[in-house]
Amino acid sequence: QVQLVESGGGLVQPGGSLTLSCAASVSRFSVYVMAWYRQAPGKQRELVAKITTGYPTSFSDSVKGRFTISRDNAKNTVILQMNNVKPEDTAVYYCNARWGGFGPPLEYWGQGTQVTVSS
């Protein structure tokens, strides 16, 4: 059974930093397109950052220059480094894995981790 397990959420002050991790129990992890999404109360889930092995990373305009995303294909993990966080970054953050190879468009979600930015 495929599992994506997020960790690292919590309360952080504006201007601070937080690191989110996602551990994936999938085979051929390197082929998956990994992404972080977030959903704030009353808003739709939105893409925050995406990373594909061998390709440039991409970010939403709202986090560009503040967040970075990285992956370790040997450890089946993806990291979202959040710097200079703002109150509007408050949301539940979800790890997403989408199969990037041939075959069925498999997609998996983590359970989410809460990030609250407040003083």
Each residue's pLDDT expressed in tens, for the chain with a length of 119 residues: 789 999 999 999 999 999 999 999 999 999 999 999 999 999 999 999 999 999 999 999 999 999 999 999 999 999 999 999 999 999 999 999 999 999 888 999 999 999 999 99
Q: What is the pLDDT, as a whole number, of residue 1? A: 78
**pLDDT per residue over 8-32, tens digit each?**
999 999 999 999 999 999 999 999 9
3-state percent helix, strand, coil for the chain, nearest multiple of 5: 5, 50, 45
SS3 48: strand
